[in-house]
Chain A
Amino acid sequence: MSLTGKRVLFTAVAVALIAILVVVFYPRDKGETAKFTTKESKFEVNVPEDWKAVEQPRVAATADREATPDEGVELRLKGSEQNKVYVFNQYSTLSPPEETLEKEAFTTAQGIKGTLYKDAANHTWQLILDQSIAPGFYGATVRFEDADLFEKNQDTFRDILKSIKIFKP
C-alpha cells in the first residue's frame, strides 16, 4: 500500500473511531427538570424519561375548608400513573412513620440530609429532609401500586430523590 493509501486508511479508521465514541458517549436526553415555585416553596427535581410531572399546588384555606398542608410535584410513571413519586413542601412538621420501618440516612446531590423510610410491603418510601432548610418542611413519598414496577424502578426513585434541589423562595 502506498503512503497516501495508508494515510487515507488511517484517517478513515480515526474518523470511524471518533464516530463510534460520539455515538457511545453522546449525552442522551436523561429527562427534564421540573421547577416548582410558589410564594412559599421553591425546588427542582429531575423528571426521568417515561415519567411526567404534575403540579399539585396548595389549596388555600377558606371559611369552609382547611388549606392543604402540602404542595409540590407528582412524578407519575407514564402509562401507569397511579405509581408516583410526590415531592412536596408542607406547612406542618413532618412526622416520621413507625419506627419498625427500615431506615436509611440519605443525602441529596445538593447536600441536604434526611432519612429515608422504606416500607417494602406497601411499596412505599418516605423521605424526610432536614427540617430547617427553608420555610416549611420538605419531603417526598414514593408510592407504587404495582409491586413489580416498584422493584424495577428503585434506582430511578433514588435518582429522583437525589436530584431534589431546594431554594429559598
Chain B
Amino acid sequence: MKKRWGSMLSVVLVAALFSTSGQVLAADPVTKSSAEELFGSSSRDYNTEAYGLPEITVPEKINSLVLSQKEVALEHNGESVFVDAVGELAEGSFINLGQKAVWSSDNTDVVFADAGRLLAIGAGKATVTVEYGGIKEVIEVSVAKTLDLQKEVETLEATKVGTISPFGFSASDRTTVVDKAKGMVNMTWTPTKDVRGWKNNTTFKANTKYTGMPYSQTENQKDKDGFTKAMSATDFYTNYTRFDIIMPRYGNDCSGFVSFAWGISRQTTSGFVSGIQDGTYAKVGTYNSSTPTKADLKAAYKKLAAGDAVVKSGHTFLIASNDTTNSKVYAYEQTPNLAVYTTWTYESMGSDGYMPYTKK
C-alpha cells in the first residue's frame, strides 16, 4: 500500500514537473498561429520518419494516467490552457502523453481539445476526455463568456489613438483603410443561384448566407459596394473561366483586396514587391528588400500598425492590429474561398519572408 501511495505521489510530482497549467494564451481564432500553439513544432508532432528524425517509442500500455488539471475555468472564447497528461509506465517511469493521448470534447461549441490544449470556443460547460491505452480521465471545463474578438481588436487599437506611426500615411487615412478592409471581410451576401468558387473547389449555394468577399482573379475585382451592385448584374451567376480556372465572375484576389483598402489602382504582389524596392511604397522597419533576413523582418514587424500590409511575391494581406506583446498580428486576408479575419505570428510571417510595407 505504501509503495502504491509512493508511486502515485511520484506521478503527481512528475505531473507538476511537466505541467504548463495556468498558461493562458491571448484571444486567437483557430488560424495558423493558434495551430502552431496547438500542435507545437512540426518536427516533434508528426511522423518523425518523414522529417528524417528518430522515432520516439511510446508504450501501448501504462499503469495510470494523471492530468495536471481536472477542472478548468476559462474567461472567454479564444483563451487556451494547457493540461498535461502524464502516464506512469509499467516499470515505474513516466512519460508526457499530451501529444499521444486522444483528446475529445463533448461540446465543441464550448471547448476544443487537442494535444493538451483546451481552446475556449464559446460560453458554457463541457467535459473533455483524455484517453490513452484504454485508460480514460476527464476534465470539467467552463467558459464564462463569449466575446466579440473583433471588438477586442478595436479596443486594442483605441489604446493607440494619438500614437503616430513614423511610416506611411496618417491616422485618419488608416481608419479609412481598415474600415474598407473590414467591410470586405464582414460583408454578407446571399446568392439566389449557385456560384462556383475558386477552381470549382466549392459551391456558394443558392439562398445561403456567406460572410466575406469571394476569392477570384477575374478582371472584375470589386470592393464591398461594387460587389453588392454586381449581384444584380445579368452575368453574376454565369459560370466564368479565366486562365483555364473556374472562378466566381466577381470577387477579389489578395492584392486586389489590399489595393481597394488602400484606395489605389489595382496592383499585384509582383508590383508591390517591386514598389517596395523602387520606393513607390514605404518599407515598415528596416530590412533589405532584395534579400530580407528573418531576423530583420521579425524586428520590423514590431513597427507595423493598422492599415499597413505585408507582402511576398504571390501573397499579401492587410494588418488590422499589431499585438507586439505576443508577437503576432491580426489581419484581413483575401483568400480562397472567402475574405477572412486571421492572425499570423511574427515567426510564421518571417519564415515565409513577408515584407512589411505601407502606402506613402
Please list the residues of chain A having a beta carbon within 8 angstroms of any beta carbon in chain B: 58-70, 86, 90-95, 97-98, 100, 110-113, 119, 121-122, 124, 126, 130-137, 141, 143, 165-168
Contact = CB atoms under 8 A, between A and B. Distances in A.
Interface residues of B, number: 52
B256 A66 contact: yes
A61 B352 CA distance: 16
Leading 8 A-B pairs by shortest Cβ distance: A92-B335, A67-B314, A91-B315, A132-B36, A61-B270, A132-B35, A141-B201, A110-B47
Interface of B: 31-32, 35-36, 38-39, 42-43, 45-47, 50-51, 114, 199-203, 205, 208, 210, 212, 215, 217, 243, 245, 253-256, 268-271, 274, 312-315, 317, 333-338, 340, 342, 348, 351-352
Contact of A69 (B47, B210, B268, B315): B315
B118 to A, nearest CB: 16
A151 to B, nearest CB: 18
Contacts, number: 135
Given A60-B314, A64-B268, A168-B51, A93 B333 contact: yes
A165 B47 contact: yes
Chain A interface helix/strand/loop/mixed: loop
A164 to B, nearest CB: 11
Contacts of B270: 60-63, 67
B244 to A, nearest CB: 10
Contacts of A70: 199, 336
Contacts of A132: 32, 35-36, 38-39, 42, 348
Residue from A66, A122, A134, A167 with most neighbouring chain B CB atoms (10 Å)? A66
Contact of A165 (B38, B50, B201, B254): B50
A64 B243 CA distance: 13
B256 A137 contact: no
Residue from B31, B315, B333 with most neighbouring chain A CB atoms (10 Å)? B315
Nearest to B270: A61
Nearest to B208: A98
A68 to B, nearest CB: 7
